[in-house]
Structures are given as C-alpha cells and as structure tokens.
C-alpha cells in the first residue's frame, strides 16, 4: 500500500473519482482545517508528479461544524495488476470521503469546466494545487467552485 499513486497521464484525471465519493448531500461546516502533514504530502506528490497531474480523494470528518481533512486516499492506477483487487478492497475504506484534491501543472489554481462539473456532483470540499506547488498555491473550493478559506493545523 506504500505506493498506489495513479501514474498515467490523464487529462480527465478527476473523472475516475466519480463514483468513489459519497455525493454532496448537505453537510454543514463553517471552517475547513487541513492537517499540516496532509498539506506537506500534497506538495510532495504534486512536485513528484509534475508535469503530470495527480488526483486523490480527501478523507475527513465534521465535528462542531469544523471540517477537518485528515487523510488522502489514492486510487490504484489502471496499469497496476492489483488494481481490481484494490478497488474492491478500498470501497469500504472510503466512507469518510469528503472531496478531492488534484494538481494543475500550470500557475492557474482555478477549477476548469470539467473540474466544476465533478465538484458539483461529488464531495463538499475540493483542493487544487498549482505551480509552484507550495502552501500558497493550494486553494480550496466548495461544490459550486467558490473558493473557501482554510486553516492549516
């Protein structure tokens, strides 16, 4: 389970996340907190993946109207011989899924039209990290694609 990052170059990288998220039924939160280790992990993976995009699911929970992002869940790459097994195996693990994160190998951190479509169908918070892949180029959006602030804790 150490390295299960998708590696193929896929312009519709978010498409494969559809179906893994729980939908976007109303779950109220007024603040987003992201664990500092998660931010670090996102930065590292974005840099390693460049110039390809990476995408992952966000694991989190809402307590007292604070949505805390606590983990990343990587979907198996299509090329992996263990892919089918892992997909079955992973389904029960992703019940705490709250949204997605992906990288943009450009300086544009704004959601594309394809991103907005995925955001509207899935999850309640979505992160995009653009070049130069640091905490200032990491943005959070709600399911309408409206930028929301977050705290690194």
Binding residues for Zn ion, rule: CB under 5 A, are 112, 115
Q: How far apart are CA 33 and CA 149, in angstroms?
A: 9
- Dig out the tokens for 75 from the structure: 């979907």
With respect to Zn ion, which residue has the nearer C-beta, 31 or 142? 142
In DSSP notation, 50-116 reads TTS--EEEEEEEEETTEEEEEEEEPPPPTT-TTHHHHHHHHGGGGTTEEEEEEEESSS--SPPHHHH
With respect to Zn ion, which residue has the nearer C-beta, 86 or 118? 118
CB of 105 to Zn ion, least distance (A): 10
CB of 129 to Zn ion, least distance (A): 10
CB of 128 to Zn ion, least distance (A): 6
Using CB positions, name the residue nearest to Zn ion: 115
77 CB burial (10 A radius; 0-12, 13-18, 19+): middle
With respect to Zn ion, which residue has the nearer C-beta, 83 or 105? 105
CB of 14 to Zn ion, least distance (A): 7
With respect to Zn ion, which residue has the nearer C-beta, 68 or 103? 103
């Amino acid at each position: 389970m150490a390295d299960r990052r998708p590696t193929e170059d896929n312009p519709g990288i978010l498409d494969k996340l559809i179906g893994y998220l729980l939908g976007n039924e109303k779950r109220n939160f007024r603040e987003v907190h992201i664990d500092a280790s998660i931010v670090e992990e996102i930065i590292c993976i974005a840099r390693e993946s460049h110039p390809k995009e990476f995408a992952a699911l966000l694991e989190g929970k809402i307590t007292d109207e604070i949505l805390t992002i606590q983990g990343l869940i990587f979907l198996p790459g299509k090329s992996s011989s263990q892919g089918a097994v892992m997909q079955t195996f992973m389904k029960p693990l992703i019940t705490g899924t709250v949204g997605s994160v992906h990288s943009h190998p450009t300086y544009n951190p704004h959601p594309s039209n394809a991103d907005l479509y995925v955001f509207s169908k899935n999850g309640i918070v979505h992160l995009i990290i653009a070049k130069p892949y640091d905490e200032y180029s990491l943005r959070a959006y709600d399911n309408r694609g409206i930028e929301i602030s977050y705290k690194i804790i």
